Structure 1
């Protein structure tokens, strides 16, 4: 196994035991970026020298070289004698909405050509303090306003969509071109590409991770969270990211938490809600079969399955749209007036449409959100987690505009992908996507776990238990030879 293939937790252990150095790890990942980037186009900007400098600093900060160590490559290694924590020396990629001082934040848009961030975002500050090495910025659907990331190709099949809007981050992690990455999620933009590329994606509780210095799509729906190779890795990253920042008005003041789940797969006493409506409506049979098999596995670990009814389903997508569209248009109002030609046609049309929505429509969406959140909290009082598909279909081929369901009905691809992920954004509850199998074409299938506000520890415990005990499932590195063609 090469260093770039290691999970975050495994890489941290290798460095702790002085079998691998931060420089070796960063160099390995940068070589993998060089190999995969021509085919996948996950990155907008690669900050190779910055990453190497951070790796060298991680070695100096940690102490003197260890004598006689050997790395996973078989070469002598300068191991770490001390550490700022498990993220020390770990290479990370950031979605190109997240500010890092001196580095461009383009939002994958011509609107931001020539832009340089003047200061670090809150999450970039936290990652820097933890000793990470910044690899660069990853592609997003322009200003995060979409679920495809058209510049980027799926890590498992370059002829298929990457998902979005954090498509670059998901693809980089899946292809070994980043040990972990950050994305943003307004209607599923972490979880959708995570599911389509076979990695783990966590949308935290609204306000748990501060968004200061992160370009907004819709301020009342935006979340920042990790994309990782394993659930354990997501827990390690969340332990660094979570925390109050007064520069984000929505930031929650909560005690510091170590989210790492304990080993062992015993879920005795835990109640898993299985939706009888909505989440299994209009779902590809292969996706349904894989997710239901994963739920059955949770039951075998001791969990009790409980039937649940998802409330207010007819209002979910209208409420999400009614919040997101006017908020996005308000954010872009000035630029839309001064340089509309710099936006892609699809994004400009959405922004112009948002300006036509009335204040009454927006206020009705706000009221519907409040009622929906209250109904979800009542439902979640009866179970510990809800298990469901992340997306109703695996990655479609690039250019495919619709999905046809077994009953003969068709649905737009973006509408299909957002349908099962948007409820967690509207209600603000945490949601974790993890891989639970593949379809006949070899494309990854994701299961989504949803929980009560601030119950990330429960989601991570359940996901980790599945990951540890379900043979043949969980993260597998993408086929680089295929991805690079």
Structure 2
């Protein structure tokens, strides 16, 4: 099946393949991985909800976790309308002007909302709850729960702009598959959350950090990282190509899951790099994120054939902590010592990652190791895989040139990603859309997506398409072989050390101000999990001592190990809830620093090493 089907059809630039109304139900299984024949998937999810009588009273309605709200709604303790109005009220007070790709004076987590639609969805949910009290029917697990969706994901009837007014008019004809599945599970879609311009930066400046809006929020899923923590949405959907879920989760102290490639469908996503792009949940707790992933995962063969690579049925995502004082007994967590960090002095190859952390991050890291050990885990340092060694990594950061096509050198990763883009009409779709738009939009799109080949005087969509389409099949096969070799080499490094999964810090020092601060210390190879197609879960483990910004850790494991790494994170948060339950102070409004409708991006030009585009970031590493 052509990778063209990967995009599905939703927004104008993402093709026209329909998301079927009969989207396959998310796979599930009973604990332990065995398929559950007695109970339906919905019943298994509902059985994991806490008893309403045992839920600790929170100071505000918006402070309850998703699983708690789901239980309270079913018990009639609160209505969906009350929940949605509580979140809309906070959006009104603390979000600032919509349709602003820049500093709008407040959080700017949402770039647009569907107020009338959200209230109508809430009223419909309340009617279902009322009816079910008489019929005792089973209701979907997310009924009445408010969500935000990244600006690059199709929501029927609304523009998806991928962080730029250059995509004004890119109206979705239907919901993306993940949005469709959220609706089927009862979710209330509040609107689109802001993302970096063209999903291009892992730092971001359009939104303000949930804990202090003067600081960077992480990118590119900026608003999806801010909104749950700032209590503007109960949970959100983010998208990652190279750091776009993990970095905003870490920067804002959210709990986010970057799934393995193929776990959830990307149909209806405005793509960056097909074969890397994934959609996943960002919430306040890992169990909330796991519930969301349980709903959206599963095969989508008509629209995203990559989902056919996932186990079917997919092992059940955990929703509750394991009992006992040592739930991590028997688990070996490795700390890779060659997972090099980048500082202001460049990539610190040869230096242990921990040696680059600032005082607060090192203290949090050492405390986390002790906490995990107290829960029964074996936590140990091990070499990992040094991807600066060509013998270990023939793909991701290799300096090899596999071919020269149309005057351009083709690296191993380009040999894979450029043909993938060609097959989905990546450049032609933008060209066709640009032809329908005013001159200023068309020029902005050409500047972003066009290519100027050696000897050409101007960039063009045709030049970009030509390069992607001319890469020989033999070169593409070699690139894919090298990618599989990298995956095998990294798995062998874990196996040799007896490691189940890894513990890393994606950020190693206090993040910077939106006015040019960025990330002073971060993982140099933050794109590596996407090259491997492996999952990560990010969760907060502390706060710095000066500004009070979050400190976050990540579990990183082999492909389709989501149940294992998520279970460990849920176990951790059960015993150490003080981090993910903390709430930031409400922001004070400033005057907006940018007009709502501006084609000029107010984000500083993204340095290549901070790009979400694998081909840009990997070239910077080379």
Structure 1 residues 218 and 351: CA distance shift in structure 2, 3 A: farther
Structure 1 residues 257 and 48: CA distance shift in structure 2, 3 A: farther
Offset at residue 172 of structure 1 (A): 0.9
CA distance in 2, matches of 1:176, 1:41: 13
Q: Deviations over 1:367-398 (max 9, x none)?
A: 44222111122234322221110223343111
Alignment match of 2:381 (pick from 307, 313, 323): 307
1:172 aligns with 2:227: yes
Aligned to 2:21: none
CA distance in 2, matches of 1:25, 1:63: 16
1:387 aligns with 2:448: no
Give matches, 1:71-220, under 5 Å. Answer: 83-220=138-275
CA distance in 2, matches of 1:150, 1:14: 36
CA distance in 1, matches of 2:365, 2:589: 26
Using the TM superposition, name which of 304-313 and 349-358 deviates more.
349-358
Alignment match of 1:7 (pick from 61, 65, 75): 65
Q: Counterpart of 1:287 in 2: which secondary structure?
A: helix
Q: Counterpart of 1:157 in 2: which secondary structure?
A: coil
Asked whether the 8 Å contact 2:511–2:517 carries over to 1, the reply is no
CA distance in 1, matches of 2:75, 2:60: 16
Offset at residue 307 of structure 1 (A): 2.8
Q: Output the aligned Cα RMSD.
A: 3.1
Asked whether the 8 Å contact 2:84–2:118 carries over to 1, the reply is yes
Q: Give the TM-score of the pair, scaled to structure 1.
A: 0.86
Using the TM superposition, name which of 244-253 and 17-26 deviates more.
244-253
Aligned to 1:76: none
Give matches, 1:445-460, under 5 Å. Answer: 445-460=551-566
Q: Deviations over 1:24-44 (max 9, x none)?
A: 100101101111102011112
CA distance in 2, matches of 1:18, 1:94: 27
CA distance in 1, matches of 2:445, 2:206: 14
1:36 aligns with 2:94: yes
CA distance in 1, matches of 2:292, 2:135: 20
Q: Counterpart of 1:40 in 2: which secondary structure?
A: coil
1:462 aligns with 2:568: yes
Offset at residue 15 of structure 1 (A): 1.1
Q: Deviations over 1:164-219 (max 9, x none)?
A: 10001111111100000000011110010000001111011110101111111100
Aligned to 1:258: 316
CA distance in 2, matches of 1:18, 1:484: 39
1:333 aligns with 2:432: no
Q: Counterpart of 2:360 in 1: which secondary structure?
A: helix
Asked whether the 8 Å contact 1:312–1:372 carries over to 2, the reply is no
CA distance in 2, matches of 1:400, 1:321: 33
Offset at residue 120 of structure 1 (A): 1.4
Asked whether the 8 Å contact 1:204–1:456 carries over to 2, the reply is yes
Aligned to 1:318: 397
CA distance in 1, matches of 2:339, 2:583: 32
Q: Counterpart of 1:155 in 2: which secondary structure?
A: coil
Q: Counterpart of 1:250 in 2: which secondary structure?
A: helix
CA distance in 2, matches of 1:195, 1:393: 11
Q: Could you tell me which runs of 5 or more consecutive residues in structure 2 were left unpaired when the two chains were aligned.
A: 1-58, 97-105, 341-351, 399-410, 454-463, 592-622
Q: Deviations over 1:13-60 (max 9, x none)?
A: 211221111111001011011111020111121111111111111111
Offset at residue 325 of structure 1 (A): 7.5
Q: Counterpart of 1:480 in 2: which secondary structure?
A: coil
Asked whether the 8 Å contact 1:230–1:474 carries over to 2, the reply is yes
Alignment match of 2:536 (pick from 431, 436, 444): 431
Asked whether the 8 Å contact 1:107–1:142 carries over to 2, the reply is yes
Offset at residue 262 of structure 1 (A): 3.4
Q: Deviations over 1:426-447 (max 9, x none)?
A: 1011100000111122111110
Structure 1 residues 307 and 404: CA distance shift in structure 2, 3 A: closer
CA distance in 2, matches of 1:401, 1:237: 33
Structure 1 residues 404 and 131: CA distance shift in structure 2, 3 A: closer
Structure 1 residues 54 and 346: CA distance shift in structure 2, 3 A: closer
Aligned to 1:409: none
CA distance in 1, matches of 2:335, 2:313: 31
CA distance in 2, matches of 1:238, 1:62: 23
CA distance in 1, matches of 2:452, 2:366: 39
CA distance in 2, matches of 1:216, 1:305: 37
CA distance in 2, matches of 1:299, 1:346: 51
CA distance in 1, matches of 2:520, 2:293: 37
Q: Could you tell me which runs of 5 or more consecutive residues in structure 1 were left unpaired when the two chains were aligned.
A: 67-78, 406-415
Aligned to 2:20: none
Q: Counterpart of 2:306 in 1: which secondary structure?
A: coil
